[in-house]
Structure 1
Amino acid sequence: MKKLDEIMELMADEMADFKSSLESLEDLSNKLHKTSVPLSTEVLEKHLNSFLKIQKQKENARTGNLELILSKLERAYILPKSLARLLLSILLALLISFSYLTYKLIESQNENRELNKLLSKEISIHKGNNTPE
């Protein structure tokens, strides 16, 4: 009998716990039914619009920076102007010296031909041929 009393007491405790759990579930269910979820998306749209505005500002800033870089690249020189002038001066000096040396070479070849003709005449005169070629 003692055991039966203990079992009954345990069952009564379990029933009381179960009842309190059911009551708390009912309270939560009532709160859930009373709470209404707004179907409006105004808050979400406001956040999205502000985000899009910030993104557009950032994109405009990036576009401005890229245009600035592009304009600077278009005005940039591969060689500085002073270096280009120096290079052109050196090339001009080389061209002039090459032309002068070519002229002197042709002139010396002409002189050599004339000397060869004179020498051949002199040799033929010394050998006894008085007929010039």
Structure 2
Amino acid sequence: MKQTIHIYYVSISMAFVFIVACNSVNETVDLRILSTATSISAGKIHTCAMLSGGTVKCWGYGSYGQLGDGSTTRTQSTPVSVSSISTATSVSAGDYHTCAVLSGGTVKCWGYGSYGQLGDG
């Protein structure tokens, strides 16, 4: 028996923070392209999915690099692949950063790290 899971992402863009009291701005994106997702972690305003092959894809607000694709794109509604992650065993999204545990037991983090949350000193 095959089961289909549909995942949808809704966000309010940071650009509309001052307008929210008057209007609600929602963007709904069909994420069926993540059909091999084994886990999902939601941060403050970004989300990441670990796929069955050990790769990670992220989407949402990415100005601090928390999407992991090397860019600081303000909002990314289509999931992007996290650079140099191919053996993830778990993923966890924080406020503006993300971490993945790799198969060898090491941890890799990316995004905003001014308070030491990336563990890079």
Same fold (TM over 0.5): no
Q: TM-score, normalised by structure 1?
A: 0.13
User: Which of the two has greater helix per residue?
Assistant: 1
RCO greater where, 1 or 2, for CA within 8 Å and sep 6 or more?
2
Q: Which has the larger radius of gyration?
A: 1
